[in-house]
Amino acid sequence: MVKIAIAGDVHGHFDILFAKAADLGADVILQVGDTGIFPDPSQVDAATRRHGACQEFLPYLQGGKPVPIPTWVIKGNHEDFEYLDSVKAKGGLIVPNLRYVPNGSIIELDGIRFGALGGNFSPRYFYEARPTLQRRRHFTIGELDALTVAGFDVLLLHDGPYNPERRKGSSVLTDFIRETQPSRVYHGHFHLPYHSSIGKTKLRVKISPDVLIESNNV
């Protein structure tokens, strides 16, 4: 049985991420975007700077601190996308125990297939085969199709399905969840916690690693 901490939108607060996951007794961390991976401090965007942890990634990248818990991250809409593309080209490993998972990929843990779909929705770029660098924060229809073909049990998103109460999210993701019916969906982006469901699928928005799931309970 694997204990998995789900986290979202840490925006560079790596020390807190690992400390909270350790307190939960997690074996693995799955981070659903806006992780705050900026190897060049000059490239940190304004949204990440506002969260005040722009430099916490560097000691891990440079080897001053080891990543203590195996951590898999998907992209958010506030990342260094050029750097993540270079990591993807090299197989996804950032440093030992820290791995980037491109959209349309599957993470398999203890027999559970987690589908990865980072970034947020844009009606303008959804049908692009490959958005330009400035627009790589968005996911595409091809990446949804890749997940459908691969098959998955749990869906990891950055953006979420449309939520009428908060007037956030994407109806495209609502339809995708309704069609594929994973057992659970975890997403970030909203910065507000909530629980919901779409058909048989349970949804939970994540803003910190305060949920621990066990592989035999997914």
Distance of CA 203 to the CA centre of its chain: 14
Rounded Cα distance, 107 and 32, in Å = 13
> In the prediction, which pLDDT does 195 show?
80
Stated as kind and residue range, the H or E segment containing 177 is: helix 171-180
> In the prediction, which pLDDT does 118 show?
97
CB atoms within 10 A of CB 202: 15
Domains of the chain: 3-217 (3.60.21.10)
Question: pLDDT tens track of the chain, all 218 residues?
Answer: 889 999 989 898 999 899 999 998 999 999 999 998 899 988 888 888 887 766 788 999 999 999 999 999 999 999 999 999 999 999 999 999 999 999 999 999 999 999 999 999 999 889 887 766 667 889 999 999 999 999 999 999 999 998 777 678 899 999 999 999 999 999 998 887 778 899 999 887 765 555 565 555 65
Tokens at residue 148, please? 């459908």
